[in-house]
Amino acid sequence: MDRAREFETPIGRFSFTRIPQKIFYTEVTRIEKQDGNEPGFQAGESFLMASPLKALADYVYAHRLDWVSAGPVIQSLRVDENLLAGINLEVVELLIDNYSSRLVRRFLKGLRKDLNR
């Protein structure tokens, strides 16, 4: 499969980047819509949603970022520092073990170090 693909959907453009991991579903939740109130979704449809930390790790991989701490997350992505403080360190460990990418693992280890302060 190609590394990246784009699709047009009824609610906009969707881009997909393949991210090698040991287990794709680590920190991914299946969400099933009970009603059709959201544009582009009908009752009974479902989708997968990554946890915020997994989405961040995937972002680092997809954009080949050489981040080694929480600093760029706060500065470049403007994520509130207080939100990072609530990250579960066990989830960080789980994700470190799940990615084969050196960049992602280094980022997660740096984030873990920052959160341990």
Each residue's pLDDT tens digit, 68-102: 999 999 999 999 999 998 899 999 999 999 999 99
pTM equals: 0.80
15 near 6, Cβ under 8 Å?
yes
pLDDT at 92: 96
Task: Tell me how crowded residue 3 is: count the other CB atoms within 10 A of its CB.
Answer: 9
103 near 66, Cβ under 8 Å?
yes
pLDDT at 40: 64
89 near 14, Cβ under 8 Å?
no
Query: What is the C-alpha radius of gyration for the chain, rounded to an integer number of angstroms?
Result: 16
Name the pLDDT band for 116 (thresholds 50, 70, 90): confident
